[in-house]
Amino acid sequence: MQTVQKLFVGSIFHTLGLNKFAHLPQHLLGISPQGKVLFVSPKAKENEIYRQFDINGSTEIIDLGRKFLVPGFVDTHVHAPQYPNAGKGTHLSLIDWLNKLTFPFESKFDDLRYSKSVYEKVVSRLLRNGTTTACYFATIYPNSSKQLADIMNKQGQRGLVGKVNMNRNSPHYYIESTEESLLATEEFINYVKGLKNDTIEPVVTPRFVPTCDPELLMGLSFLAVKHKLAIQSHVAEHVDEVSWVKELEPDCVYDTLVYKKYDLLHPRTILAHAIFLTPQEKKMFEQSKAAISHCPNSNFTISAGKLDLRDLLNRGIKVGLGSDISGGYSPSLLQAQRDSITCSKALAFETQNKEKEINYQQAFYLATLGGAQALGLEHKIGNFEVGKEFDAILVDPKPPIENSSFDVFPQDSIDDIFQKWFYLGDDRNVSKLFVKGKQVL
Ligand code: GUN
Ligand code: FE
């Protein structure tokens, strides 16, 4: 009989697919000592569960009361070193924003003391907001990037972490040679693997085509295959970037074709933004099973554009949500979910096509199971299916703080309360946080 280490009793919300939102009222959810979901069952079947599983004096029983469980949020695209700039430079557009604000700032991270202080803050800020899994860009510096992996390890956050690569069109004080870049990347990969933490993995991270020449892209593709790693970058984020890529790689008509040409378009590739994809490029995503990170807060903030999310979903392309700090100003995946709805509605108004809209249940899917699928982690996380690892937020809709961000009224049903949390909630509603069954907050 399997031992139950923790037993939750109460309301659970999760999704089993884009259109499969589920509220499970009055349920039992059991966790194994290894942090996996053992069962999710209506409370009415309690007797059966007690017969099948070893629930004994040492099982921790947690009655949720007014609180409820949701899967931990998955941030599929976030630049950890840019966190101190969140909310700054929002008047700039992409290329100016990179050259005037972002590259000078990231270059500070060769100072390991500074780097550690920022990475500690960003990881804990994301956790406070319910992000149990993050897919990070660090900087070009390998030792600083290792610190980010160490801090995720220490604070208990799951995720992918990449040392950034850039060997062209970058300022003299923030650039690497091809050889340096590839050597440092492999050293970084081996370091992260050496942590022996099965919730943290290295990800190959060419910044974007303008800063990575073909030789570097080929070398990175080789490393990704050799070490069986995920790949992340940016694609078709801004009209200026798209036309720059065409100038730099004239034989590739499309941004995505560059990644395809250098064998970087894999089932575990995640490319951020993808606003200006042509139908031909969308086909490349369909065929390769590569994923897109939708970062609506960033796209509005640095005036990039609106993604046609519905079209990608209709084509069966994997999509997750990203905060894209500090292109985006908000570390909150609740904000990303709301912004994905606003973006879809703006497109629906403009095209007079209501089908373009997504609803809150679909946005919630993108922030949880959709994100897990985009990162190739759906066999481990994203919802509470039996056998998955338990990554969860315990949401308290009525935190014991006077200035909580919304009010619950007697006539509100539990479904109303979920929606109020979705639209009005913030980090004060994160009562506890779990990664692989372990409480991290
Ligand atoms: N394209 C290349 N680098 C970046 C970055 O740091 N942020 C965003 N939003 N786009 C990029
Ligand atoms: Fe980005």
Beta bridge partners of 328: 325
Which atom of ligand 1 sits closest to the CA of residue 241? Answer: 1
Ranges under pLDDT 70 in the chain? 401-402
| Residue 207, ligand 1, Cβ within 6 A | yes
The CB of 255 under 6 Å from ligand 1? The reply is: no
For 167, the 3-state DSSP assignment is coil
- Check residue 36 and give its pLDDT: 98
| Distance between start and end Cα atoms, the chain | 30
Query: Is 69 near ligand 1, meaning CB less than 6 Å away?
Result: no
Ligand 1, atom nearest to 94 Cα: 10
Burial of 22 (0-12, 13-18, 19+ CB in 10 A): middle
Would you say the CB of residue 391 lies under 6 angstroms from ligand 1?
no
Short-list 55, 57, 23, CA closest to 42: 23
Q: What is the pLDDT of residues 122-168, one digit of tens each?
A: 999 999 999 999 999 999 999 999 999 999 999 999 999 999 999 99
CA of 340 to the centre of ligand 2 (A): 16
What is the pLDDT at residue 404? 87
- Report CA(221)–ligand 1 centroid distance (Å): 20
pLDDT value at residue 183: 98
Distance 287 CA to ligand 2 centre (A): 24
Closest-approaching ligand to the CA atom of 165: 1
237 touches ligand 1 (CB under 6 Å):
yes
Q: How many CB atoms lie within 10 A of CB 34?
A: 13
For residue 207, the number of C-alpha atoms closer than 13 Å in the C-beta half-sphere is: 25
Tell me which residue of 437, 366, 336 sits closest to 15, measured CA to CA. Answer: 366
Other C-beta atoms closer than 10 Å to the C-beta of 354 total 9
User: What pLDDT score does 402 carry?
Assistant: 67
SS3 content of the chain, % helix, strand, coil (to 5): 40, 25, 35
Q: Going by C-beta distance under 8 Å and a sequence separation of 6 or more, which residues neighbour residue 213?
A: 167, 168, 178
Q: Which atom of ligand 1 has the smallest separation from the CA of 327?
A: 9
Q: Could you tell me if the CB of 165 is within 6 A of ligand 1?
A: no
For residue 253, the model assigns a pLDDT of 86
- How many CB atoms are closer than 10 A to CB 424? 15
Q: What is the largest CA-CA distance in the chain?
A: 68
Give the mutation target among 83, 140, 170, 208 for probing the ligand 1 site: most ligand atoms within 8 A of CB.
208
State whether residue 40 is helix, strand or coil: strand
Helices within 352-385 (DSSP H only) = 360-365, 371-374
Q: Tell me how far the alpha carbon of residue 237 is from its chain's centroid.
A: 17
Contacts of 87 (CB under 8 A, 6+ apart): 326, 329
Residue 150: predicted pLDDT: 99
Query: What distance in Å separates the CA atoms of residue 89 and residue 136, rounded to the nearest whole number?
Result: 21
Cα separation, 432 vs 393, in Å, equals: 6
DSSP code string of 243-309 = HHHHHHSTT-SSHHHHHHHTT---TTEEEEE-TT--HHHHHHHHHHT-EEEE-HHHHHHTT-----H
Whole-number Å distance, alpha carbon 59 to ligand 2 midpoint, is 43
Q: Whose CA is nearest to atom 8 of ligand 1?
A: 327
For residue 239 the two structure tokens come to 């009209």
Among protein residues, the one whose CA lies closest to atom 3 of ligand 1: 207
Q: Which amino acid is at 106?
A: E
Question: CB of 77 closer than 6 A to ligand 1?
Answer: no
Mind giving me the DSSP string for 194-236? HT--TTEEEEEEE--GGGS-HHHHHHHHHHHHHTT-EEEEEES
Pairing of strands 6-15, 21-31: antiparallel
Distance CA 26, CA 101 (A): 50
| Residue 319 bridge partners (DSSP) | 292
Residue 434 to residues 155, 156, 157, Cα–Cα distance (Å): 11, 9, 9
Residue 327 CB less than 6 A away from ligand 1: yes
| Torsion (CA) 318, 319, 324, 329 in degrees, nearest 10 | -170
pTM value is 0.98
Can you read off the two tokens belonging to residue 303? 């005036």
Question: From the alpha carbon of 295, which atom of ligand 1 is closest?
Answer: 9
Measured in Å, residue 139 CA sits from the centre of ligand 2 at 12
Ligand 1 pocket, 106 CB below 6 A?
no
